[in-house]
Amino acid sequence: MSLIEFGATAALLLPLVGFAALVAGGRRLGEPWAGILATLAVGGAFAGAVLALIGLLGLDGHGRAVTVTLFEWIPSVGVDAALLVDPLSVTMALFVTGVGGLIHLYSIGYMHGDPGFARFFTYLNLFTFSMLLLVLADNYLLMFVGWEGVGVCSYLLVSFWFERSTAAVAGKKAFVTNRIGDAGLLLAMFLLFGAVGALDYHSVFADADGIAGITVTAVVLLLLVGACGKSAQLPLHVWLPDAMEGPTPVSALIHAATMVTAGVYLMVRSSPLLELAGDATTVIAIVGAATALFAATVACAQSDIKRVLAWSTISQLGYMFLAVGSGAYIAAVFHMITHAFFKALLFLGSGSVIHALDDEQDMKAMGGLRALLPITSVTFIIGWLAIAGIPPFSGFWSKDEVLTAAYDKSVILWAVGLLTALLTAYYMSRQVFLVFFGKARWEESGKHPHESPRTMVIPLIVLAGASVFGGLLNLPFGPRFLTTWLEPAIAPGHHEELTISRFLVLATIATILSLAGIAAGRVWLKRSDRTELEPAVLQRAWGVDDAYAAVVGGPGHATATALAQGVDAGLVDGAVMGVGGLVRSAGGRLRALQTGYVRNYAMGIAFGTVMLLGWVVSRAGG
Amino acid sequence: MSLGGEWYLTLAAALFSIGAVGLLVRRNVLVMFMCVELMLNAVNLSFVTFSRMLGDIGGQAVVFFVLVVAAAEVVVGLGIIVAVTRRRSGATADDLKMLHG
């Protein structure tokens, strides 16, 4: 067994083992051992991913794609339970287990004293396993198993505090919205299997040239539907803000860093198809840019600390789709990684603030926390500068690489991205100034904010470091590690060129706008009593939710009622009851023949025998 | 001197008819039961006769099966008759009409 096989298998199976152990004995382990066990399982998975990375580095560039077959799964479809270890999957596995491990550690402190402590870590380990299955699978079908697995875990964790009705409803909303996207993904797989007769990446991409152009376009658009569901892009974004009902580490792990990037991963993984799909990629770019701007505007008017970050996540995911649609797959992955760092940091930081203020989430009831929460505030500020795109923090490098790619695709897309960057800097500054600076608006409630325990602070520090230095992965000048590393795993013949002079010009414009956004946020703090900057239409997220509720609750509900009463009760039930009634009435008539006198029956038998004999004799005679 | 097969077949037909008519006209359960046995054995006789006439041992083999099935049927039938008689002594077949569906 080679290093790669061992590393990848161990990375996949350790969280599964942890999950099984917690199911069997999590309650008995109790606090904190259940959390420590889960953290160790994910830490072990990270070590496994590192081993696979070392193994891959030992191979030369284009040989870096190793298939590890676990067992034969569905021979009739030609699909095995097999892992594809290549630069893309290893990168994903590394950051899923790395960021995931830190969030596990943080959760030990955050979930302290919760009656569902062991259950929480059981779900988290199951999530890590599903996510690793999603990114490591070597075919669409096995990837779909992981895809559904993370969906289930998302549902379980959003409604983790299910005794709150809002949490239970949010969980259902997340699940149902995701199902709509999943339908698109399933149809894409059906089309692909019909066209190629295989579902493993290697065969599909090898035969991609032979597929009819219209089919490729349809497949890519259906994959986009699936990705929109999982990655909360317009118009399927509605579940993500509500998913903030879950515990904050869940928001950080699932709804910011890892699961919601699954859609981007799917797009990047399918890049050989995207390259053939032509105009469909423009659709992807438009969806991404529109979502980025839309979500950024909404984030400006939210007052719940986690909801701002949720809308910000949707907006940043829009950047990644913009990059994918512009053909800059590696820039998308780059932004996905840096975003995982700084968004996980911001979410965990917000969790630390919520923790310090006894579960207060309204930013208008915060303020002046900088001195009281020294580590949280410093790390949060680092995350803020990273997401606002201030050099030299990681978000600057990745966001501006995306924007440069968007400029190459279309100036309009670039302008939308630029406007989003301005708004991002504004709403994040508004958040930072509201939470950490200004007047302490919580004093009259008699709270005593305190810094969080060590298990919560250490992940913050590590993620802050990653947010500062994450840009080193792919600086526009010097060795572009990520580009060189990922290029073999992207569509063949694909090169991502970055014109440094153009990058510098565009990045300067973006940075000036970001600074303007920060200044606007600073000004806003001084007049935070004025509400015209938070129009109701933005607070209600442009009324998309209301529109959905009106359509589904009005005509949708009426159609369902009509179908239930007309078609189901009338036609379907009528047919079933009719058959039953027919048999019953026929039986009632035939009962009369059953007299109970044995001689009648015997006479019947004798008569029948005579008739039969007569028939046989007459035939023989004729 | 040996009789021709036709005589045996005629006897079998006569026995079968006696049994069949007896089953139809009698009410006593035990007698009806004996009539059934008579019919079965009439058929057995015809089987053996045909077997001898055609030189095929298969007919005689079938007779053994009929005997076995008849024996099993006697066990079940007599059991039912005893059970019925215990409940209502002197019951006829017509008295059991309330058993109909």
Q: Which member of B23, B100, B101 has the closest CB to residue A602? A: B23
Q: Which member of B20, B23, B97 has the closest CB to residue A596? A: B97
What distance in Å separates the CA atoms of residue A391 and residue A397, rounded to the nearest whole number?
Answer: 8
Average pLDDT over residues A431-453: 80
Q: Which of A341, A368, A365, A369 is nearest to A353 (CA)?
A: A369
Pick the residue from chain A with its C-alpha nearest to B27: A599
Average pLDDT over residues B73-77: 91
Average pLDDT over residues A437-441: 78
Average pLDDT over residues A58-85: 83
pLDDT in tens, A572-611: 888 999 999 999 999 989 888 888 788 888 888 889 999 9
pLDDT at B99 over 80: no
Q: Which of A269, A219, A245, A261 is nearest to A87 (CA)?
A: A269
- Amino acid identity of residue A10, one-letter, is A
Instruction: Judge: A594–B94 Cβ closer than 8 Å, yes or no.
Output: no
Average pLDDT over residues A609-620: 91
Q: Which member of A596, A597, A606 has the closest CB to residue B20? A: A606
Give the percent of chain A with pLDDT over 70.
97
Instruction: Judge: B23–A595 Cβ closer than 8 Å, yes or no.
Output: no
Q: Which of A488, A400, A376 is nearest to A56 (CA)?
A: A488
Q: Which member of A596, A599, A606 has the closest CB to residue B100? A: A596
Average pLDDT over residues A42-61: 88
pLDDT in tens, A295-304: 998 888 888 8
Instruction: Judge: B93–A598 Cβ closer than 8 Å, yes or no.
Output: yes
pLDDT at B1 over 60: no
Give the burial class of A562: count Cβ atoms within 10 A of its Cβ; 0-12 exposed, 13-18 middle, 19 or more buried: exposed
Closest Cα of chain B to A610: distance in Å? 12
Instruction: Judge: A606–B24 Cβ closer than 8 Å, yes or no.
Output: yes
Half-sphere exposure of A557 (CA within 13 A, CB side): 7
Closest Cα of chain B to A607: distance in Å? 11
pLDDT at A539 over 80: no
pLDDT at B97 over 90: no
Least confident of A271-275, A467-471, A533-537: A533-537
What distance in Å separates the CA atoms of residue A251 and residue B94, rounded to the nearest whole number?
Answer: 81
What distance in Å separates the CA atoms of residue A381 and residue A384, rounded to the nearest whole number?
Answer: 5
Dmax of chain B from CA atoms? 56
Q: What pLDDT score was predicted for residue B46? A: 94
Q: How crowded is residue A216: how many other Cβ atoms within 10 Å of its Cβ?
A: 23
Which chain B residues have a beta carbon less than 8 Å from that of A602? 23-24
Q: Which of A380, A369, A379 is nearest to A447 (CA)?
A: A369
Take residue B35 and report the two structure tokens written for it. Answer: 């009539």
Q: A with B: how many residue pairs have Cβ under 8 Å apart?
A: 28
Take residue A340 and report the two structure tokens written for it. Answer: 């995982």
Give the burial class of A479: count Cβ atoms within 10 A of its Cβ; 0-12 exposed, 13-18 middle, 19 or more buried: exposed
* CA angle, residues B47, B51, B52, in degrees to nearest 5: 120
Q: What pLDDT score was predicted for residue A492? A: 67
Q: Which of A490, A508, A493 is nearest to A328 (CA)?
A: A490
pLDDT at A319 over 70: yes
Instruction: Judge: A602–B24 Cβ closer than 8 Å, yes or no.
Output: yes
Average pLDDT over residues A485-489: 80
Task: Work out the pLDDT band at A501, boundaries 50, 70, 90.
Answer: confident
Distances (CA, A) of A576 to A332, A564, A581, A585, B43: 55, 15, 9, 15, 48
Instruction: Judge: B100–A603 Cβ closer than 8 Å, yes or no.
Output: no
Instruction: Judge: A602–B97 Cβ closer than 8 Å, yes or no.
Output: no
- Name residue, tokens 């039969």: A612
For residue A74, the 8-state DSSP code is E
Q: What pLDDT score was predicted for residue B43? A: 94
pLDDT in tens, A340-377: 889 989 988 998 888 888 888 888 778 778 888 888 88
Pick the residue from chain B with its C-alpha nearest to A604: B24
Beta-carbon contacts of residue A501 (< 8 Å; ≥ 6 apart): none
Instruction: Judge: B100–A606 Cβ closer than 8 Å, yes or no.
Output: no
Closest Cα of chain B to A621: distance in Å? 20
What distance in Å separates the CA atoms of residue A619 and residue A596, rounded to the nearest whole number?
Answer: 35
Task: Give A470-483 as a 3 state SS string.
Answer: HHHHHCCCCCCHHH
Q: What pLDDT score was predicted for residue A75? A: 85
For residue A362, the 8-state DSSP code is B
pLDDT at A529 over 70: no
DSSP A174-208: HHHHHHHHHHHHHHHHHHHHHHHS--BHHHHHHTG
What distance in Å separates the CA atoms of residue A388 and residue A398, rounded to the nearest whole number?
Answer: 11
Q: How crowded is residue A169: how many other Cβ atoms within 10 Å of its Cβ?
A: 14
- Amino acid identity of residue A534, one-letter, is E
Task: Work out the pLDDT band at A534, boundaries 50, 70, 90.
Answer: confident
Beta-carbon contacts of residue A288 (< 8 Å; ≥ 6 apart): A233, A317, A318, A319, A320, A321, A322, A323, A324, A325
- Name residue, tokens 């940091």: A345
Using a CB–CB cut-off of 8 Å, the residues of B that contact A are 20, 23-25, 27, 32, 93-94, 96-101
Q: What pLDDT score was predicted for residue A577? A: 92
Residues for chain B: how many in total?
101
Task: Work out the pLDDT band at B65, boundaries 50, 70, 90.
Answer: very high
Backbone angles phi, psi at B2, to 5 degrees: -125, 140
What distance in Å separates the CA atoms of residue A547 and residue A540, rounded to the nearest whole number?
Answer: 11
Take residue A621 and report the two structure tokens written for it. Answer: 């005679």
Task: Work out the pLDDT band at B48, boundaries 50, 70, 90.
Answer: very high
DSSP bridge partners of A72? A80
Which chain B residues have a beta carbon less than 8 Å from that of A595? 97, 100
Which chain A residues have a beta carbon less than 8 Å from that of B24? 599, 602-603, 606
What distance in Å separates the CA atoms of residue A410 and residue A401, rounded to the nearest whole number?
Answer: 14
Q: Which of A302, A312, A311 is nearest to A364 (CA)?
A: A302
Closest Cα of chain A to B2: distance in Å? 30
Instruction: Judge: A598–B99 Cβ closer than 8 Å, yes or no.
Output: no
Pick the residue from chain B with its C-alpha nearest to A601: B24
What distance in Å separates the CA atoms of residue A480 and residue A496, rounded to the nearest whole number?
Answer: 11
The answer to whether A25 and A34 are in contact (CB under 8 A) is no
Take residue A387 and report the two structure tokens written for it. Answer: 């997401």
Q: Which of A55-59, A71-75, A381-385 has the highest mean pLDDT?
A: A381-385
Whether cis (ω within 30° of 0) applies to the bond prior to A535 is: no
Half-sphere exposure of A89 (CA within 13 A, CB side): 31
Which chain B residues have a beta carbon less than 8 Å from that of A597? 93-94, 97
pLDDT at B101 over 60: no
Task: Work out the pLDDT band at A532, boundaries 50, 70, 90.
Answer: low
Give the burial class of B20: count Cβ atoms within 10 A of its Cβ; 0-12 exposed, 13-18 middle, 19 or more buried: buried
Which chain A residues have a beta carbon less than 8 Å from that of B97? 595-597
Q: What pLDDT score was predicted for residue A493? A: 64
- Domains of chain B (ranges; CATH) run 5-99 (1.10.287.3510)
Residue A69: strand, helix, or coil: strand
Q: What pLDDT score was predicted for residue A531? A: 66
Instruction: Judge: A596–B99 Cβ closer than 8 Å, yes or no.
Output: yes
The answer to whether A317 and A399 are in contact (CB under 8 A) is no
What distance in Å separates the CA atoms of residue A262 and residue A89, rounded to the nearest whole number?
Answer: 12
Phi-psi region of A321 (alpha: psi -120 to 50; beta: other; left: phi over 0): alpha
Q: Which of A131, A140, A130, A137 is nearest to A182 (CA)?
A: A140
